[in-house]
Amino acid sequence: MTSATPAAPGTKLPILMPPHPMLRGRTRRVGPADMEQVRALLPDMFATMYAAPGIGLAAPQVGVGLRFAVIDLMPNETPAPVVLINPEVIRVSEDWAVREEGCLSLPGQYADVTRPARVAVRHQDANGATHEIEAEGLLAACLQHEIDHLDGVLFVDHLSALKRNMLLRKLAKERRQMAAG
């Protein structure tokens, strides 16, 4: 991110890292009784994502077991925040795309991930209205990445066991060095 990253009003939350079990659990659908809690968390989620800096953050990454995420690709370095409540992929293309991915829960770790090139996602916004997003490119990858988080899947799960284990060991070693530091 550049200096155009907005200063979101909200409190920066701690981002969980593997092997935290919250990252591997499936989230619960957001119901009407949860909406007040979700709306209250959104400013903190955006503040956390922008400060990292990142382009997406799912609730489990900050210790919340509800099915919602936030994204902002900052097109033309202009904030374009999107709230995804109860998102679900409803269509995928038959063609695939490879894109380098990283994750705020696995800082400094990047790898090429193969996913459907285009997706359609149905979700609700913070007011409960239902929307559909048709996406390709970075947005398609970001949507799939965040929805994966809501199902307990990390981007490294799309890699070979060898590559996944190398990245996770590297992250663990870096965390040990920082803690000893």
What's the rounded mean pLDDT across residues 85-100?
98
Dihedral angle of Cα 100, 47, 65, 128, to the nearest 10 degrees:
-100
Burial (CB count within 10 angstroms: exposed 0-12, middle 13-18, buried 19+), residue 129: exposed
What mean pLDDT, rounded, does the chain reach? 94
Q: Which residues are catalytic?
A: 146
State the pLDDT at residue 9: 76
Q: Across residues 137-158, what is the average pLDDT?
A: 98
The pLDDT, as a whole number, for residue 8 is 56
Residue 6 pLDDT: 52
Which band of pLDDT confidence, cut at 50, 70 and 90, is reported for residue 181? confident
Distance CA 25, CA 135 (A): 26
Average the pLDDT over 112-120 and give the result: 98
Q: Which two tokens stand for residue 7?
A: 């200063």
- The confidence score (pLDDT) of residue 5 equals 46
Q: What is the rounded CA–CA span in Å between residue 164 and residue 170?
A: 10
Decide which of 76 and 39 is more confident.
Answer: 39
Domains defined along the chain, listed by start: 21-180 (3.90.45.10)
- Give the long-range contacts of residues 170-173, CB within 8 A, separation 24 or more: 170/109, 171/17, 171/18, 171/106, 171/107, 171/108, 171/109
The predicted-structure confidence for 4-58, as pLDDT tens digits, reads as follows: 445 557 899 999 999 999 999 999 999 999 999 999 999 999 999 999 999 999 9
Which percentage of the chain shows pLDDT scores above 90? Answer: 91
